[in-house]
Structure formats: C-alpha cells, structure tokens
Structure 1
Amino acid sequence: MSGNLVRGFAVASATAVTTVGAVTGVAQSSTHQAADDTETAAGDSTLLADLPMGQQAQVQAAYLTQQADTQAIAADNSARRTAEQTARKQAAQDAIAKQKAAQRKADQQKALQEAKDRQEAQQKAARSSTASGPISLAPQSSYTAADAKAIARQMMSGDQFQCFSNIVDHESGWNYKAVNPSSGAYGLVQAYPGSKMASAGSDWQTNPATQIKWGLNYMNERYGSPCDAWTFWQANGSY
C-alpha cells in the first residue's frame, strides 16, 4: 500500500487510528479527543507511511470496520423510527375504526328503539280509539255482515281492520249472532262465555258494535293489537 493511501486513511479515519493506537488499539474517549486525534494523525501521517505492509492492512481493516459499524447503527436507528411511525399510524387507524364501529352500533340501536316507539305509539292509538268506539250507524233491529264490517272499519286503522277481519272471518263469518254449538261461544269474535262482552255494553247479544268494541279491547290487551292476535291465530288455529 502506498504512503499516500495510508495518509488518506489516517486523516479520514482518525478515530480508527486512535482506536488501533500502535496497531494494538485503545478505546476512543470523546468527540473532542477524536478531533485532537485527527490533527495528530494528520501530523503523523508520514510515520504511518513507514509502517510495515501488515500493519497498514490492520489500520485499513480497523477503518473499514468502524465505517461498517457506523452504517449499521444508522440503519438500526432508521428501522426503529420507521417501526415507531408505523405503530403510531396503525394505532390511529385502529382507534378510528373502533370509533366508527361504536357509532354504527349506536345508530342501529337508535333505529331499533325508534321503530319500537312507533309500534307502541300505533298500538296505543289503536287502543285509545277503541275506548270510545264512535259509531255513525244508528242502532238497528238487525245487521248484515257488511254493516258489521262498516262499524269495525270506523273503530280501527285499515291495517288493523284487515287482521281483525281475518279473525272474524274464521270465528263467525261476520255473523254477530253466531253460536258455537259445542262451547256456547257467541258473537262475531266468539267470546266464551258470551256474557263477558257485557263489560262493553248491555246490548252485547244484539249489537255488533258492542261485540267489536269488546273484541278489539281483548285483542289489544292480550296480544297488543289485532295483527298480533292474527299472528297468534295463524300459529295456533285460535286466539
């Protein structure tokens, strides 16, 4: 190796020269010491040129080793910073995803509660409309099925009437004087015993309005609504 190359290593790698010392090596002390070593190495570069070839190779190897260590440390630091940044980014994304999931769940629960509230309000309205049961038809000596249906339509909403009508179709065919020969159940909704309908009016035997009022109250109180009663009827063949 030429003297110029050794001098180059001595100047560019003063820390390495100091570490090697007299090629045997002592520990580097501080940044200020490294600066002093650089000046010393520059001043002593002529002496390094006079080193035997084997010692010059050791100086070169020490310099290259230090450079490799420095690069490895820098790479480790860079990898650590990248990992930390990735972890922070992932944590932020996880927090946002968790917040969105919680919001979706809250929205679903709110929608379910609103639907439940609407259903309860509809049932309450149906029950309250039944309490008075305003009937425009004047009392008659007899009523047809059409008359009874017209009365029922005035006492409940259209969808509830259809469910109510489905039950009455099966129970009595809209005959307000229908009697079950086996049980004695009576009227449009086949109350058993028929006298229970007296709670809705003393004319329960002859007035379909009284029977409808009692039957609607019964369905609301026992099942929640005529449609809920119809659902039960379909599953059990009676209500």
Structure 2
Amino acid sequence: MSEFKAQARPDRASQQSDPKISRHRAEPAKPASAWSGLTARIPSLGRRAAVVATACTVLVGVGAAGQAADQATPSAAEPAAATADAGQTLSFDKTLISALPAPSSASIAPQSSSQAAAAKAATVKAAAANAAAAKTAAAETAAANAAAAKTAAAANAAAVAKANAAQAAAAKAAAAKAAAAAKAKTAAPVALNDPAGAQAYAASKLGSFGWSADQMQCLKRLWTKESEWRTTATNASSGAYGIVQSLPAEKMATAGADYRTNYRTQINWGLDYIKERYDSPCGALNWHLAHNWY
C-alpha cells in the first residue's frame, strides 16, 4: 500500500481534475466484486490449495483496506490521493487474480453417477476376486493337508500290518519249531542196553541163516569180547559202535535208521556181516582169536 501511495501523491492536482479519478471517487473500490471473482475461480478442493490459500489471505487484507478507505471521509488535503489509492488497489487485485493458475476441470468437475457406479462396481469386483482367490487357496490347502494325512495314515496302517504279520509269522515259526522239537523228543527212540534181551533175539535169528543152536555159544563169546552185548558200546580209540562194533557206525544204517538205539537192528546187520565174511559165528570167533578183530 505505501509503495503505491508514494507513486500517486506527487500528481494529486492532476488526479483531482481527471474525470477517471472523479469517477473512482464517486464509485467505491468494490472489494466485494474482486472477492467474488476470486472465489468463483478458485476451486474449493484442488491440487493448488496452498497457492489459493495464500492468495486469499492477501486479498482479504486488500479488501478490508479498500472498505476502510470507502467508509472514511477523505480530508480536503488529500481527496485525490484516496481515489488514486483505491484505483491502484483494484488494479493490483486484478493483476494478482489474473496471475493465479486456472483450476483444472478434473479438480472441479464433479464425478458423474455412472463413474461412481463403475468405480464402486470395480471395487466390489476386486473384493469378490480376492475373496474367491482366498477361498480357492484355503480349499487347496485343506485338500493337500487331507491328502497328506490320508497318505500318512495309510503308510502307518501298512507298517503296522506288516509288523503284525512279521510278528505272527515269527510266532508261528517259533511254535512250529517248538512243536517239532517236542515231537522229536517224544518220538526219539531211547537206546536200550539189554544184553539178555539182545542175546535172546540173536538166538531166535540163527535158524533163519541156516545155523544150528550150538552156533550161539560162539556168537555169545564173540560179541561179549567186543561190546558186552551193550547197544551203546563205543570204542574210544576207533569209534566202532554197538553190539557188533561196526566201524563206522553208519554201516548199520542199511539195516535200519534206528541203528544207534535198537539192538535188533544192530544184530540183524551183524549176522549178515558174519554170514558174508566168515560163514558162521564160530568161523568169526576163530578169526577174532587169531587176529584180535573180525
């Protein structure tokens, strides 16, 4: 304000005679019109809010000063100066307003109902898509977890079944083995050392080989020297076994599998051996007496 007054005061006489100044004196400075123009051009909400706020502050001060100048009665000394100030102030206001940037149509144009509906529909669609994606992901995760649990349960059940089968097979095998051992123990023949019974059996067999009863005396003496007619007699040095002292003992298996426990099997094999090698029990005894073996 002071700068503009300094420029206007030296030519006050000419300003008083100027019809333009007289017109400015007759008409007030119209700060309200300048304010109305400013508010019409400045958007209520825009991207240049800071610049508009600053301009409004300046214009409010200018308008207040103009109204004060209109209400006050100028003195006789400075009638032309007041008029010049008002005109200069209005010119400044117009210059400032014209320098302000025009608001963009995007900042002041209200959003149409169709645009708002489209935006709302897009938001709803995006939310629905997100919800559907989350639901699908949750379903896939649940399905994967269920499949993994089912697979683990099946594997566990198979392992348990396999272990149970193995245990059952082991128990069955153990039971079979125990039963076989018990059966073998029960069925295994017990070697019977019965010299009298063995001699009676040998005497009963002489006739089947064509020998007379007197051959029994030679046979009794022969096998008494060899084994004392004991079924389990064993020669510690040679390993000869049984009543007939077979060497090795397995030779008597041709007469029966029970050659180690049954004196009858041993006697049957021994009589065949004497018949083949010495023709009679007395012939076998004579050889034994001469060689100490037969």
State if a TM-score over 0.5 links the two structures: no
TM range (shorter): 0.3 to 0.5
| TM-score, normalising length: structure 2 | 0.33
